[in-house]
């Protein structure tokens, strides 16, 4: 019986030290459903993966109905939503527990909060927002379980400076722990997972196409507990900009990413999905 106990301890230790992994579920091309359906920059999954809200960087908002019964993901319906069409350069999106919508803008930098009637208020900005470069401003937006909004610009001040993190709660902006900048990757999206951790999607551009990286952080940990979950070669997927972390009915965690076609016939909108195994 001793050897069984030893084996159990070894297995337990191995499991405790196992690195989280992402397994590709599939890549789903999204057809150009209308003239405004393109430039997708953000995605929010709901209803256990049966519904999705996608945002264009030109203000277009669409409700997608998804069919997961087959071998591949299928979009069975796409309904436009005109709430955000007037907002301009829309990049990040977050939805709170009550269904209230928040949108981050890349130029000029701002975060918009939905009113009860569907219109939007501009949240009082952090002083740093005024100095941000318009095409490199608030690219990512996420909301924590306690309702705290977290936003980040696409780029930091220099090639080696960390990415600043801005947190909004109870009407006040504060600067959170900065995220280390590594290599040529810039931030394109973020979301909090069911585990309370912040997942950050990044992109690097080269002549061979787009490379993507996903890192995960614990904003409450002194060292941020940084974990790299995915790094792709250039050209593996499209221009991935939006990220949603969600659980299905079995409690399994999935990551759904959406690619921006830049309204270019040589690029495509797509949804790329992974399953997370801890």
Residue 17 confidence (pLDDT): 57
pLDDT: which is higher, 263 or 59: 59
- Per the domain annotation, does 8 fall within a domain? no
- Per the domain annotation, does 6 fall within a domain? no
Alpha carbons 210 and 184: distance in angstroms, whole number: 11
Using the predicted structure, report yes or no on whether residue 99 has a pLDDT greater than 90: yes
- Per the domain annotation, does 9 fall within a domain? no
Give just the sign of the alpha carbon dihedral 179, 91, 188, 156. negative
**Beta-sheet pairing, 51-56 with 61-67:** antiparallel
Question: How many domains are contained in the chain?
Answer: 1
Alpha carbons 104 and 86: distance in angstroms, whole number: 13
pLDDT band at 268 (very low <50, low <70, confident <90, very high): confident
Residue 118: give the domain boundaries.
19-277
Residue 162 confidence (pLDDT): 98
- Per the domain annotation, does 14 fall within a domain? no
The predicted model scores a pTM of 0.92
Using the predicted structure, report yes or no on whether residue 16 has a pLDDT greater than 80: no
Using the predicted structure, report yes or no on whether residue 13 has a pLDDT greater than 60: no
Q: Residue 24 belongs to what H/E stretch?
A: strand 21-30
58-94 tens-digit pLDDT: 999 999 999 999 888 999 888 999 999 999 899 999 9
- Per the domain annotation, does 3 fall within a domain? no
Alpha carbons 23 and 253: distance in angstroms, whole number: 11
- Per the domain annotation, does 125 fall within a domain? yes
CB-CB contact of 239 with 246 (8 Å): no
In this structure, what CATH number is given to the domain that contains residue 219?
A: 2.120.10.30
- Per the domain annotation, does 5 fall within a domain? no
- Per the domain annotation, does 162 fall within a domain? yes
Residue 14 confidence (pLDDT): 42
């Amino acid at each position: 019986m001793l050897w069984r106990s030893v084996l159990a301890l070894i297995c337990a230790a191995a499991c405790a030290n196992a690195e989280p992994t992402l397994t590709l579920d599939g890549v789903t091309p999204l057809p150009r459903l209308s003239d405004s359906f393109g430039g997708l920059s953000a995605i929010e999954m709901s209803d256990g993966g049966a519904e999705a809200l996608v945002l264009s960087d030109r203000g277009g908002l669409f409700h997608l109905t998804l069919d997961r019964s087959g071998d591949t993901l299928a979009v069975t319906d796409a309904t436009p939503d005109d709430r955000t069409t007037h907002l301009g350069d829309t990049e990040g999106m977050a939805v709170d527990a009550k269904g209230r919508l928040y949108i981050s803008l890349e130029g000029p930098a701002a975060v918009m909060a939905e009113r009860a009637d569907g219109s939007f208020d501009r949240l009082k900005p952090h002083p740093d927002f005024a100095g941000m470069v318009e095409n490199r401003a608030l690219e990512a937006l996420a909301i924590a379980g306690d309702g705290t909004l977290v936003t980040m610009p696409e780029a930091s001040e220099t090639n080696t400076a960390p990415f600043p993190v801005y947190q909004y709660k109870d009407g006040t902006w504060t600067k959170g722990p900065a995220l280390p900048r590594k290599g040529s990757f810039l931030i394109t999206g973020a979301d909090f997972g069911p585990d309370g951790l912040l997942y950050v999607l990044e992109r690097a551009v080269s002549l061979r196409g787009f490379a993507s990286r996903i890192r995960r952080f614990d904003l409450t940990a002194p060292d941020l507990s940084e974990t790299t979950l995915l790094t792709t070669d250039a050209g593996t997927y499209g221009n991935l900009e939006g990220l949603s972390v969600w659980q299905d009915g079995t409690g399994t965690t999935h990551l759904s990413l959406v690619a921006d076609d830049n309204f270019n016939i040589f690029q495509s909108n797509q949804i790329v999905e992974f399953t997370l195994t801890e």
